[in-house]
Structure 1
């Protein structure tokens, strides 16, 4: 019986060691990828001074934004994920829905846009070519998340208004409700750009982005954006950021996803190597000790 148990332990030890090796060298490439069933809605709120084109006056308003991002599984593959994004910014007054159309009788629509883009499922960097439909804007750098295992360094980050990358500079490490995040800073000062479609002006932005580094997920974002005409007239001066509910939801999701990654790439290899080694040693002892006992009986 002792010999049988020994062989069972040897087999178990070998299995655990193989599991540990797979979890170390194969699993990270499989689990550190953006899921193809991604479907997220992000809510922001804030305030702004906005030019009323009908009166020529600048009006102080409360605003809220809703951004819906869904994966297009038909265009995506093992390495690249394609996203469809719609964003709506409305005046936050009364019982306004997340979005209204341009014909809204109360003129509560500030802006609305839609976009299609593709990113590498591991690095988060933009991918173009065959993944985009005809006419879609090609992008560069990071778009809607950071890479898995983000680092304390600068990253190229896509700015949709400029149609170019800007630098997201590592600023600091900050804990949000117990979750460690890397805080990045994007600063643009008086850059020439189309502040409204077809209208040239001056664009400035001061943005902070909080990233959970293990997953690369954005868990908070706050920014101050200014758009002015060339004569200095303010088109939009807006301060906006994730709502408290959005931050809480982002932290919870990031913690859950981080836990799953750590289990597969951290805990599982540890259990495999330590458990496998112990099982092999115990199994070898029982098998060879049994042989010595049998030889001694003869």
Structure 2
């Protein structure tokens, strides 16, 4: 074999190795939650909530703000990584008219950077314990049910695959999540009263629709200062990009009710907070564009580049073999037959 053929054979080996490196090392490195992830998801809708200022002054007629327009911003960012684990800051702020802040929650989660499931929290990270998904879906989602963590009730709930839809030209898997239980989010609990006077609760009850009012006889039997606990229900719908796992759209309905302990268990007194929000058209379009760009980049690194390098290696190897065969045939044809003795 000539020197040039040895050199070309070496190039073939390098191309095959490069294809393997791209697919087995570079692709997994980029196909994970980036360490610089910093995203804000905006939702709009309406909310009803206790008016703390009105409660303090005894203005029961305005103690419950009803169906006010709100904007909910969810800020998700990676604050630390440890190999395949990411520590996530998850902050949600709801604002009402005149940019008045109505509520705010803040959490930290430790998740796997590929499947987004819970992972043991790195030391001193401050991440909370949870089970299942909490901020998004795996980077390669499937048409099946998942376990989702509901921060409001601090419980896990099934994320049920419901259907597949088109969202801004992207294929999206649609999941529904329903959760209910005692209120478990400390960020919300600390902003709600631990007790209220009985006459305040009675006044609140009068502002509610008839079907939501507690039994007047039951209210009358409560102590003058009523100790309160809270329960919550949430209904979520998530539209997840089938190619990247990105959240394209979402909706949330949440209700928190005040309770007190009765002879037979918790007695529901009145809703103290409810909201219904969904993604904005501008935000949906932006996330779909991002998913489209990310999907093309992943296809380039995960398929086109390694396959292209492998095809180039095969073509070059075929050329080396063809040239060697041709050279040897030419050499054999050029030899003179040996003379007979």
1:191 aligns to 2:198 (yes or no): no
Equivalent of residue 69 in structure 1, options 68, 76, 79: 76
CA distance in 1, matches of 2:253, 2:152: 14
Tell me what 1:209 maps to.
238
TM-score by length of 2: 0.74
For residue 232 of structure 1, report the CA deviation from its aligned partner.
4.4
Question: What is the correspondence of 1:1-298 to structure 2 with a 5 Å cutoff?
Answer: 9-53=8-52, 54=55, 55=60, 56-73=63-80, 76-91=81-96, 93-94=97-98, 96=99, 108-134=100-126, 136-188=127-179, 191-193=181-183, 196-197=188-189, 199-230=228-259, 231-298=268-335
For residue 264 of structure 1, report the CA deviation from its aligned partner.
1.1
Closer, same or farther in 2 for the Cα pair 1:277/1:148, shift >3 Å?
A: same
Aligned length: 279
For residue 140 of structure 1, report the CA deviation from its aligned partner.
1.8
Closer, same or farther in 2 for the Cα pair 1:7/1:288, shift >3 Å?
A: farther
Closer, same or farther in 2 for the Cα pair 1:62/1:79, shift >3 Å?
A: same
CA distance in 2, matches of 1:181, 1:218: 9
Closer, same or farther in 2 for the Cα pair 1:81/1:159, shift >3 Å?
A: same
Point out which structure has higher relative CO (alpha carbons under 8 A, 6+ apart): 1
Q: Deviations over 1:137-171 (max 9, x none)?
A: 32221121211211111111111111121111111
Structure number having the greater helix percentage:
2
Report the 3-state secondary structure (helix = DSSP H, G, I; strand = E; otherwise coil) of the residue aligned with 2:156.
Answer: strand
Closer, same or farther in 2 for the Cα pair 1:149/1:57, shift >3 Å?
A: closer
RMSD of equivalent CA atoms: 2.3
Report the 3-state secondary structure (helix = DSSP H, G, I; strand = E; otherwise coil) of the residue aligned with 2:90.
Answer: strand
8 Å CA contact 1:18–1:272 kept in 2: the answer is no
CA distance in 2, matches of 1:15, 1:34: 30
- Larger deviation, residues 174-183 vs 80-89: 80-89
